[in-house]
Structure 1
Amino acid sequence: MNAWVISLKAYLKPNLLLIVLLGLLAGIPYGMILDPLNFWLSKSGVDRASIGLLSLVFLTYAFKALWAPLVDRIQLPFLKRIGQRKSWLVLAQLLSFIFLIAIGMNDPKQNLELLVICVFALAFFSATQDICIDALRIELVEKEELGQAAANYQLGWRVGGVWFAQVVGFILGGTIGYSNAYLIVALVFLSLSVFIFFKMPEPERIVRPYISVFSHPGRWLKDSFVDPVVDLYDRYKSEVGLLLLLIFFYRLSDMYLGPMAMPFYREMGFTEIEVALVTNFFGTAVTIIGVFAGGLLVHRFGLEINIFYGAVLTALTNLPFVYLNYLGTDLDPSNELQFLWVVIGMDNFTQGYVGTIAITFISRVVSPSFTATQYALLVLLGTVPSRILGGSSGFVVNEFGYHDFFLIACALGIPAIVLSYIVWKKKLIFSSS
């Protein structure tokens, strides 16, 4: 029992509580370019095709690895005295604040093009903030605390990105107007940014000699982009292929199903209120429980065994959707709604649990010398191909129907199960130390 109490108390350490706030700051800008923005655009008469195209803005977050080396290596002239991480964080947060306000100042009916530019700018600087936060989340804690750090980060992100940005932002937009809603959210974001600046120390990290991009562009390019990749191979040798394959396949099953979830709920006949209640409120609460369960179990039993169980749960929790689809033929709609609670409960708990495992896993892999760059590159490997493959999900449903689609989504989890089992049994601890 004492071991469990110690594991729970670890979440309350000052450095880990700071990570909750960092997660909250990461979630707010992301959430404000999701549901509140889409609803505002639709309410303003913007056509569905344009709103759908604007969703491409989220590729900015996926491709942040392209400029992560700049954040790792370039020193900002007027801010370098406060430290490499904090200087870039301050810059990214200040510009995110400015563009949150700028979005609210533009009427979609009058200045849609300018509003879209502001949205992409917010996504870019918000993604830059994420690069800093991903590095800080690893560098501010000890290696054995990475599981709790991942859980606390996800808690903060869910509160900021879902409950505050999407729920409170939605309510504010509907009551005082979306321009005022963006202003209030921006002021809260700025206040939290100032607080975290004064409370958070600059982390100790391995600082490599600075190479100017202007004086030695070739050396700078090698040092910033080539060396982080070479470092992975040098540390993991023949295991690097297993490492990269596991990262590629680990969330594939879940991400493949994701785009078809809302169309499926609508075609099942669930109302917007039912979906919001079950998926947003209940689902988010269950996700947070899964987040902390993941951090606690990693701390108690180690990472490898949890990587394996996470892969198994990711695949298996797609199967209840098959039965939910079968209930769609039932004449009693109450059966469908009751089982939706069960499906969302299992699926969202697994998302929280596996999210913590995945973040901890990648955090263990990165080197202290290339924290931001390697983390962004590995996240890109684990998300972008899955997102692209997910683009085919609608065609698969049209061709085979939801029953077979959910079975295919489950089968896509088999490679991750096999790879994670090998990691577990061979005791391949991917550690950056």
Structure 2
Amino acid sequence: MAAAPTHVDGTVRRAMWRLLPLLGLCYLLNYVDRVNVGFAATTMNPDLGLSATAYGLGAGLFFIGYFFFEVPSNIILHRVGARIWIARIMITWGIVASATAFVTGPIGFYIVRFVLGFAEAGFFPGIILFLTYWFPRATRAKVVALFFLAVPLSSVFGAPISTLLIQNGNGALGFDHGWRFMFFVEGIPTVLLGIALLFLLPDRPTKARWLGRADAEALEAVIAAEDERQVPHTVGIRQALTDGRVLAMSVVYFGIVFGLYVLAFFLPTVIEGFGKQFGTKLSLVQTGLVTAIPYAVASVVMVLWSRHSDATGERRWHVAIPAFVGAAAIAVALLFNSPYLVMAAVTITACGVFAAIPVIWQIPPKFLTGVGAAAGIALINSFGNLSGFAGPYLAGWLKDLTGAFQAGMLAVAAFMVLSGVVVLALGKAVREADPTRIS
């Protein structure tokens, strides 16, 4: 794949430095507010009377609310602009995230998780769409990887912070449990940053005050020319939503994200179980620090793998290989008789998940553009993120059924293998129909 045209390289670099730290911070807060329930679970579940199945159901209900509003949200963003709509999303989800502090039982937990998903719907696909307005195709996997660094970093930094707030929050601000204090505090920065976006986030290059007019217009012209070459015909909403390639990519994303959310919601509990299984003694904060290890390693692997995908222009195998390797690792992870070997296998799986995700998002723009891209990307993300419901619920149910996490980890492996197989089959089918479409 050819590199971005040299006459816009400087503009692209400037946009990366201006936008990615801001967007990455938004996503870091987003992911903390989404998965901090995993750190709360060890003390919240007994307080609220939640079984593993009930907790998995509540954790996953987030994605049901998310699913129903995802496509409309992204279409609205395409029409009104990212500045207003991403700010709206962040303000509302921050308020709901803080409100989790006040739940008193299973029903309240279910309701607040569903509403949190509804409030947040459209954030991630909105940012993916937004990045296509700013960056040429030859840089996008790296750009998405740098943005997606917020996810592993949210565990590297969020895990110790969340566990510290839980451990020291009992009685703070009048809350009777540390997990309530943690939820309340961690939602506030999201609201504040959402307000700041109204002043800091330009919708397109020509709206950015920090870019010269000529540079901004040149960058938009390069991106428009790429879109015209890649997808020369207009793609509408209905066409995008019924495109078989969009549905296939939904399956691919579902399988990878299945692994992501099972790790996010249950890894702290698995590590806590090392005490019974291996005799290790870890405090709540130490559990948070150990949980961060796979994410720290995966963040490095993800950026390097995405850079390689951009450099070669190859996408299918850059999704399939991490999926297969990650599946093999998680399938055997809990069979080891050493906590170090278990964590090594889990780390390999995390690397597979995170390496695949940024590259996955480089495939839909090869056959979608405009409002069709807004709808198609949102549909892929919404169906894919249903695994955020299915994964925790299935893993929790299997844990209650078998008394161990092994069955749930085998389910992760199966779905990751499915992702790898489908993305390879999709590439072959599209290449036979039109060899210019998917590498």
TM over 0.5, shorter chain = yes
Alpha-carbon distance change, 190 to 118 in structure 1, aligned in 2, over 3 angstroms = same
- What residue in structure 2 maps to residue 375 of structure 1? 377
What CA distance in whole angstroms lies between the structure 2 residues aligned with 1:136 and 1:406?
A: 30
Is the counterpart of residue 124 in structure 1 residue 122 in structure 2? no
- What residue in structure 2 maps to residue 357 of structure 1? 359
**1:289 paired residue among 288, 293, 300:** 300
**1:108 paired residue among 104, 110, 128:** 104
Deviation at 1:253, TM superposition (A): 6.9
Describe how 1:275-424 pairs up with structure 2 within 5 A: 276=287, 280-302=291-313, 305-321=314-330, 324=333, 327=336, 333=337, 336-384=338-386, 388=390, 412=418, 415-416=421-422, 418-419=424-425, 422=428
1:111-163 CA-partner distances (Å, limit 9, x unpaired): x6455433332221122444533432333333333212211221123334x34
**1:252 paired residue among 255, 258, 261:** 255
Say what the alpha-carbon RMSD is for the aligned residues. Answer: 4.4
Describe how 1:1-400 pairs up with structure 2 within 5 A: 12-32=16-36, 34-48=37-51, 49-60=53-64, 63-64=67-68, 66-73=69-76, 83-104=80-101, 106=102, 108=104, 113-114=107-108, 116-160=110-154, 162-176=155-169, 177-203=178-204, 227-231=236-240, 241=244, 244-249=247-252, 252=255, 255=258, 259=262, 266=273, 269-270=277-278, 273=282, 276=287, 280-302=291-313, 305-321=314-330, 324=333, 327=336, 333=337, 336-384=338-386, 388=390
Indicate the SS of the match to 1:22.
helix
What CA distance in whole angstroms lies between the structure 1 residues aligned with 2:335 and 2:114?
A: 41
Mapped contact 2:94–2:190 kept (Cα < 8 A):
yes
Indicate the SS of the match to 1:269.
helix
Indicate the SS of the match to 1:345.
helix
Deviation at 1:282, TM superposition (A): 1.1
- Structure 2 length normalisation: TM-score? 0.69
Mapped contact 2:332–2:345 kept (Cα < 8 A):
no
Deviation at 1:252, TM superposition (A): 2.7
- Structure 1 length normalisation: TM-score? 0.70
Mapped contact 2:259–2:412 kept (Cα < 8 A):
no
What CA distance in whole angstroms lies between the structure 2 residues aligned with 1:248 and 1:171?
A: 37
Q: Count how many residue pairs are aligned between Structure 1 and Structure 2.
A: 378
What CA distance in whole angstroms lies between the structure 2 residues aligned with 1:11 and 1:295?
A: 19
- Name structure 1 gaps, 5 residues minimum: 206-225, 234-239, 328-332
Alpha-carbon distance change, 179 to 346 in structure 1, aligned in 2, over 3 angstroms = closer
Deviation at 1:174, TM superposition (A): 1.7
- Name structure 2 gaps, 5 residues minimum: 4-8, 170-177, 207-234
Alpha-carbon distance change, 102 to 150 in structure 1, aligned in 2, over 3 angstroms = same
What CA distance in whole angstroms lies between the structure 2 residues aligned with 1:21 and 1:95?
A: 17
Deviation at 1:62, TM superposition (A): 5.2
Deviation at 1:318, TM superposition (A): 2.6
Deviation at 1:422, TM superposition (A): 2.3
What CA distance in whole angstroms lies between the structure 1 residues aligned with 2:103 and 2:386?
A: 32
The amino acid across from 2:368 in the alignment is V
The amino acid across from 1:311 in the alignment is A
